[in-house]
Chains A and B, each alone.
Chain A
């Protein structure tokens, strides 16, 4: 019963490098989200998707791109990493249903950009 799986768990990049974070969910959820979390800032939405093939911008989308080619996967890309993108990244998914637990989170990715 994997739920939401994020890879990698840790990554260190140099400024200007690119990378892709992968989020996979096995719950057949329609909606998927990428958040970043910085100290004292709560969770801020980067991009989200309401279904396969669709993506939309959240609160802090600059410097990131996303793709949802398959329903179970949601990729977050950094084309040219900057130190300001040092953060913990959380992926989450939802079926948008009436259940109490609205979001199911992955375990997070700690990214450091030097």
Chain B
């Protein structure tokens, strides 16, 4: 059975801290891994990763994929209260039309 596991499930940090969110997967026929941010409404797209070792970066957020060890990490540096959200990891299979497989998400709370 295909599955995506995120850890930790929740995390509380202070503003300015750096956090690392983890996503591991066991799927057949992997195509890509995606990260989303969700703030009480629809998820918004952050990154898509397909190749090992190539970092994707956007401002204070960055992510990398390890296809050998089957995991990805999402780093957030110098956290701000606006980073408080649920971060979802999803895996896309290499099969047309199949839905993304989501993990349960990591709830990040950043206190001021």
List residues of A whose CB falls within 8 A of some B CB.
30-31, 33, 35, 40-45, 48, 50, 58, 90, 96, 100-103, 105-108
Q: Which of B92, B96, B100 gathers most chain A CB within 10 Å?
A: B100
Contact A101 B102 (CB under 8 A): no
Our pick among A96, A100, A105, A106 for the contact of B97 (Cβ within 8 Å) is: A96
Count, A-B residue pairs, CB within 8 A: 51
Distance to closest chain B CB from A105 (angstroms): 4
List residues of B whose CB falls within 8 A of some A CB.
6, 9, 32, 34, 41-43, 45, 47-48, 88, 90, 92, 96-97, 99-100, 102-105
Distance to closest chain B CB from A79 (angstroms): 23
List 11 A-B residue pairs with CB atoms under 8 Å apart, sorted by A's residue number: A35-B99, A40-B104, A41-B104, A45-B99, A48-B99, A90-B42, A101-B48, A102-B34, A102-B48, A103-B100, A107-B42
CA distance A106 to B44 in the complex (A): 11
Contact B41 A30 (CB under 8 A): no
**Contacts A30-B97, A102-B92 supplied; 7 other A-B pairs, CB < 8 Å:** A33-B99, A35-B102, A40-B104, A90-B43, A96-B96, A102-B34, A108-B42
